A and B are shown apart, each in its own frame.
Chain A
Amino acid sequence: QVQLVESGGGVVQPGRSLRLSCAAFGFTFSNYVMHWVRQAPGKGLEWVAVISYDGTKVEYADAVKGRFTISRDNAKSTLYLQMNSLKPEDTAVFYCASAGSFYNALGDHWGQGTLVTVSS
């Protein structure tokens, strides 16, 4: 059964760091491009970042560029999002999702989300 499970969310003070993880089960992780998408409370969806199959190609939303780093460990079937210099406006549920290629639409495999709250 295909499953994506995010973890690592929590409450963090502004300016601090947090690392999210997304563990993949039931499919060959290295065959998929992976994305992070977030959703602030009561708001719409915002695309955050993408990483290629082998991690050599990445793209970021302007709002997180220079602060967030997406990475993956194919041996562990795990996707990461290192978030530094967090701001209150980064408060959101973060979802990981797969895609067939760097230029394909997001697929039908999404995690359940992990909540990040940035507050003093």
Chain B
Amino acid sequence: DIQMTQSPTSLSASVGDRVTITCRASQAISNYLAWFQQKPGKAPKSLIYAASNLQNGVPSRFSGSGSGADFTLTISSLQPEDFATYFCQQYITYPRTFGPGTKVEIK
């Protein structure tokens, strides 16, 4: 199975900050990488697919990049509604695997 890691595990940031989260796969996955946002008590929300494509309705302050085994999710200017946990997931093969998550907290 492909293992996914994320860093950092958590981070504290202020509104307006630029935030970058890293996701790494244990083997190359081309661009078969998705990002999800989850708020407490809510279902995950899809943000990005194919490493860099925003889902409909996702604000343009979110962006994704990377290919192969290393990927990043960037929030260009953190907004109050962005405080949440972010997960990456590879979908090049089954079983699909998620990263452990990165919690973005208010500083």
Contact = CB atoms under 8 A, between A and B. Distances in A.
B68 interface: no
Q: Is the interface of B mostly helix, strand, loop or mixed?
A: loop
Contact of B45 (A37, A44, A62, A108): A108
Interface in B56-107: 56-57, 87, 89, 91, 94-101
B46 A105 contact: yes
B43 A113 contact: yes
Contacts, number: 60
A107 interface: yes
Interface string A33-44: 001010000001
Interface string B32-47: 1010101000011110
Contacts of A45: 36, 38, 44, 87, 89, 98, 101
22 contacts: A37-B44, A44-B87, A44-B101, A45-B38, A45-B87, A45-B98, A45-B101, A47-B95, A50-B94, A50-B96, A59-B95, A60-B95, A62-B95, A97-B44, A103-B91, A104-B91, A105-B46, A106-B36, A108-B45, A108-B55, A110-B44, A110-B46
Interface of B: 1, 32, 34, 36, 38, 43-46, 49-50, 55-57, 87, 89, 91, 94-101
